[in-house]
Structure 1
Amino acid sequence: MTHAPVDGLGAEPRARFLDLVAAEWIKLRSLRSTWIAYGVTALAVIAFNAGTAYDTYTYWAQRSAADRADYVRAGIALREAFTANAAMVMMLALGAIGALAIIGEYSTGTIRTTFAAVPARRSVMAAKTVVVTAVGTVFGAFVAGASFVLTQAILDGRDAGLPMSHPGALRVVVASALLAPVCAVVGMAIGTVIRHTSATMIASVVVILVLPIVFTEGRHWSAVAGHATLYQSWSRLVEVGPRRTDFPWTTGGAWTVYAVWALTASVLAVTSAQRRDH
């Protein structure tokens, strides 16, 4: 005859999701290389933006009066709040950091220990996705906010800076900030599927950087495909003034692309570990 365990003795409690999130956070914060990567990326992105603004500040006197007036009236300062070069650097770096968040465990074999301790693989990957997204969001908010404040402070020296209340300014900051967590989750999803460092890095570069360049505005199908990429969506959200193109699209469509990429990458990251053996 068997007896039920008294007061829960002999029954191992299931890990709560918040416990899994806490465990993944401990893993991430304990890796010095992760914070070095975030730090170097932040410095590079802010430096790109500040450097562009400082270049405008330095050569402002060489502009004609009409050119200066057009610069201010058109809100060109918003383009320098977060430049295309800075966006590319951040996208590539966050994609790599997100990928390494999972590839590191597969390469060292610690993922076996994790899944042995918590057989609910989807819960583990969901917790990892939450942590990567949260850290990426905080990072993106800091970098985008710091870039805006610094660039506009530099341009204020020539009375060309814009406040956050200027039309479109908040959208530039939010779109640039959210680019970080989305790319991080995309990188993690690619890493979960491929599970090899070099192949994952190549795939991340292709998905994040190469595809937006390949798809041009020359043909309708190519324009639509390009609009579905993260970089072109960011470009649409931060653009200043009317866009001259044969195939225009809305900011609402660009925000939708952000959401679809984030949701698809999250689902892929969570379900891939369940369907494949580690």
Structure 2
Amino acid sequence: MSTATAAVQQHPHSSLGRLSFPRVVRSEWIKLRSLRSTFWTLVAVVVIVVGLAALLSAVVPNASTLGAQVPPAQLADFVTNTATSGLMFAQLVVAVLGVLVISGEFSTGMIRSSFAAVPRRFPVLAAKAIVLFLTSFIVGLVSIAISWAIAVPMLTGKGYTGDLFTQDTLWAILGAALYLGLVAVFALGIGTIVKASAGGIAAALGVLFLLPILASLFGNLMNQKWVTDASHYLISNAGTGMSGGTNGTLEPWANVVTVLVWAAVSFILGAILLQRRDA
């Protein structure tokens, strides 16, 4: 009787191995920070954002030398454009990281181990999205805040209009960081859909960088106003609006919704295909 009873008793430490979503998130965080490429990618984001802001702030001429070429109302735009000049390149770096986080596991076969530990699959992708978003958001927030802290004093000393602690500036810093986090989630979805690193990176960079250029060229050369209007709803153009720039006549909330839709569609489509396809 005692032997049978002992056999059915639960081991006192068996609950420690119970799978839970926080543990899946923790495992994805360990994967992300243990890769050397992650460190250098995030360092590249900081260097690009801060370095370009500092460089342009140093070479931009004094406002007095511009004379009547620039209306006084546009002097504040110089500060915004300079402080966020590195965002266009930083989004590409973050997008590459987002693709590689999932495509790298597909190429090495590690994804099978992840799915063996988490058979439902979706928690793995959701955990990757959370870790990527928070990491990109925090790094972006620090980088953009430093770039503004550099650009505002240097440019106001040259006669431009800018204030680091206004509501518009703080929202621009927060919006730029939020945009980088959502770009990472968008690229994660693209990488999940394509499964290949080269193809995923090409697709993500094409949407972020090439598509706005093509839309602008086609709209201007062919005089197609609807193309120009539609281009405001591209993810990168909406990201410009989120970071304090001008994106046509779209309100700030419309820019946020546009980027959210792009990220959500990519992530949801990737999650659906992840469930239906073989690893």
Structure 1 residues 42 and 74, CA, compared in 2 at 3 Å: closer, same or farther?
Answer: closer
C-alpha distance in 1 between matches for 2:205 and 2:34: 27
Q: Tell me the residue number matched to 2:82.
A: 80
Deviation at 1:264, TM superposition (A): 2.1
Q: Is the 8 A contact 2:129 2:185 kept in 1?
A: yes
Q: Which runs of structure 2 are paired with 1:172-187 in the superposition (5 Å)?
A: 172-187=172-187
Percent of pairs with identical residues: 27
**Do structure 1's residue 254 and structure 2's residue 255 form an aligned pair?**
yes
Structure 1 residues 74 and 19, CA, compared in 2 at 3 Å: closer, same or farther?
Answer: closer
Q: Tell me the residue number matched to 1:274.
A: 275
Deviation at 1:262, TM superposition (A): 2.5
Deviation at 1:104, TM superposition (A): 1.2
Deviation at 1:193, TM superposition (A): 1.0
Q: Tell me the residue number matched to 2:228.
A: 223
Q: CA RMSD in A?
A: 2.8
Q: 2:10 aligns with which of 7, 23, 33?
A: 7
C-alpha distance after superposition, 1:202-247 (max 9, x if no partner): 111211111112223543431343122111112334236xx8x6xx
- Structure 1 stretch displaced more, 96-105 or 199-208: 199-208
Deviation at 1:35, TM superposition (A): 0.6
C-alpha distance in 2 between matches for 1:35 and 1:155: 31
C-alpha distance in 2 between matches for 1:93 and 1:16: 31
- Amino acid of the structure 2 residue aligned with 1:95: A
Structure 1 residues 121 and 70, CA, compared in 2 at 3 Å: closer, same or farther?
Answer: same
Q: 2:24 aligns with which of 17, 20, 40?
A: 20
- Structure 1 stretch displaced more, 160-169 or 63-72: 63-72
C-alpha distance in 2 between matches for 1:49 and 1:149: 10
User: Unaligned stretches of 5+ in structure 2?
Assistant: none
Q: Is the 8 A contact 2:57 2:155 kept in 1?
A: yes
Deviation at 1:159, TM superposition (A): 4.6
Q: Secondary structure at the match of 1:63?
A: helix
- Structure 1 stretch displaced more, 9-18 or 73-82: 9-18
C-alpha distance after superposition, 1:11-67 (max 9, x if no partner): 8864110000000001111111111111023202221122111112xx317705556
Structure 1 residues 107 and 232, CA, compared in 2 at 3 Å: closer, same or farther?
Answer: same
C-alpha distance in 2 between matches for 1:267 and 1:5: 42
- Amino acid of the structure 2 residue aligned with 1:250: E
Q: 1:60 aligns with which of 47, 59, 62?
A: 62
Q: Which runs of structure 2 are paired with 1:1-278 in the superposition (5 Å)?
A: 5-7=8-10, 14-56=18-60, 59-60=61-62, 63-64=65-66, 70=72, 74-83=76-85, 86-160=86-160, 162-166=162-166, 168-216=168-216, 218-237=223-242, 238-239=244-245, 248-278=249-279
User: Unaligned stretches of 5+ in structure 1?
Assistant: none
Q: Is the 8 A contact 2:58 2:154 kept in 1?
A: yes
C-alpha distance in 2 between matches for 1:257 and 1:67: 34
Deviation at 1:71, TM superposition (A): 6.7
Structure 1 residues 79 and 61, CA, compared in 2 at 3 Å: closer, same or farther?
Answer: closer
C-alpha distance in 2 between matches for 1:160 and 1:45: 20
